[in-house]
């Protein structure tokens, strides 16, 4: 997911997207452990997406507090 797309999400949409992505990451980790995961590079991408979303969420909350 691109940074610009994440920035356009509202706070509630962002929270939901973070939860969904973390759930997907958990499922992929389980599949990797059982040897069912074919695209292991997706784990890295999902981790980065979660980090991007968390960063933007923090930036938005900081901006609200300062405003």
User: Is the dihedral angle over the CA atoms 48, 31, 20, 4 positive or is it negative?
Assistant: positive
pLDDT for position 67: 78
Structural domain of 21? 3-66
Note down pLDDT in tens along the chain; length 67 residues.
Answer: 899 999 999 999 999 999 999 999 999 999 999 999 999 999 999 999 999 999 999 999 999 899 7
3-state helix, strand, coil in the chain (%, to 5): 80, 0, 20
Question: Residue 66 and residue 44: Cα distance in Å, rounded?
Answer: 33
Task: Residue 52: count other Cβ atoms within 10 Å of its Cβ.
Answer: 18
* Residue 45's CATH number: 1.10.287
Q: How many separate domains does the chain show?
A: 1
């Amino acid at each position: 997911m691109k940074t610009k797309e994440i920035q356009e999400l509202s706070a509630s949409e962002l929270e939901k997207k973070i939860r969904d992505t973390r759930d997907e990451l958990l499922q992929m980790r389980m599949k990797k452990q059982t040897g069912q995961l074919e695209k292991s590079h997706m784990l890295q991408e999902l981790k980065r997406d979660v980090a991007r979303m968390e960063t933007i969420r923090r930036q938005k909350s900081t901006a609200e507090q300062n405003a």
